[in-house]
Chain A
Amino acid sequence: VNAPRGGVGGGNDFQWCFSQVKGAIDEDVAEADIISTVEFNCSGELLATGDKGGRVVIFQREQESKNRLLSRGEYNVYSTFQSHEPEFDYLKSLEIEEKINKIRWLPQQNAAHFLLSANDKTIKLWKISERDKRAEGYNLKDEDGRLRDQFRITTLRVPVLMPMDLMVEASPRRIFANAHTYHINSISVNSDYETYLSADDLRINLWHLEITDRSFNIVDIKPANMEELTEVITAAECHPHQCNVFVYSSSKGTIRLCDTRAAALCDRHSKFFEEPEDPSSRSFFSEIISSISDVKFSHSGRYMMTRDYLSVKVWDLNMENRPVETYQVHEYLRSKLCSLYENDCIFDKFECCWNGSDSAIMTGSYNNFFRMFDRNTRRDITLEASRENSKPRAMLKPRKVCTGGKRKKDEISVDSLDFNKKILHTAWHPKENVIAVAATNNLYIFQDKIN
Chain B
Amino acid sequence: MVAKGQKRKLHREDEGGGSAWESQLQSVLDISMDKFHRDQALVEPCLLRSVLINNTLRQVQSEVRAQVESLSAVKIPTKSKPEADFPRLSPPAEHNTPLFSLNAENMDDDFMAWTSEEDFSLSSAISSILKDLDTAIDAGQGPCASQRAPLSSVENLTPYPLRTERTSDLASSVKTELMCPGCPQDVALDKLLLDIDTAVFEPEVNLLQGFSVTADDLVKYLPSLSKSPSASSSSSLVSHAQATWEIQEIEHVMDILMRTYPQS
Contacts and interface: CB of A to CB of B under 8 A. Distances in A.
A156 interface: no
Contact of B146 (A183, A215, A232, A285): A215
Interface of A is mostly: loop
Interface in A221-260: 222, 224-227, 229-232, 234, 251
A213 B144 CA distance: 6
Interface stretch (B1-9, B23-31, B231-239): B23-31
Nearest to B43: A94
Contacts of A220: 148
A284 B148 contact: no
A216 B146 contact: yes
Interface in A385-401: none
Contacts of A230: 51, 54-55
B162 interface: no
B136 interface: yes
Nearest to B144: A178
B134 A226 contact: yes
Contacts, number: 104
B51 A232 contact: yes
Nearest to B44: A94
A231 B137 contact: no
A419 interface: no
B139 A214 contact: no
Nearest to B155: A224
B51 A178 contact: no
A68 interface: no
A216 B138 CA distance: 19
B144 A179 contact: yes
Interface in B111-158: 126-127, 130-131, 133-134, 136-139, 141-148, 151, 155-156
Of the candidates A214, A227, A229, the one having the most CB atoms from chain B within 10 angstroms of its own CB is: A227
Interface of B: 24-25, 27-28, 31, 43-44, 46-49, 51-52, 54-56, 59-60, 126-127, 130-131, 133-134, 136-139, 141-148, 151, 155-156
18 contacts: A93-B43, A94-B43, A177-B142, A177-B144, A178-B145, A202-B47, A205-B146, A214-B146, A220-B148, A226-B133, A226-B134, A230-B51, A230-B54, A230-B55, A284-B24, A287-B56, A338-B24, A338-B31
Given A94-B44, A183-B46, 17 more contacts: A94-B43, A179-B145, A181-B137, A181-B138, A183-B47, A215-B146, A215-B147, A216-B147, A220-B148, A222-B151, A227-B126, A227-B127, A230-B54, A251-B51, A284-B56, A287-B52, A288-B56
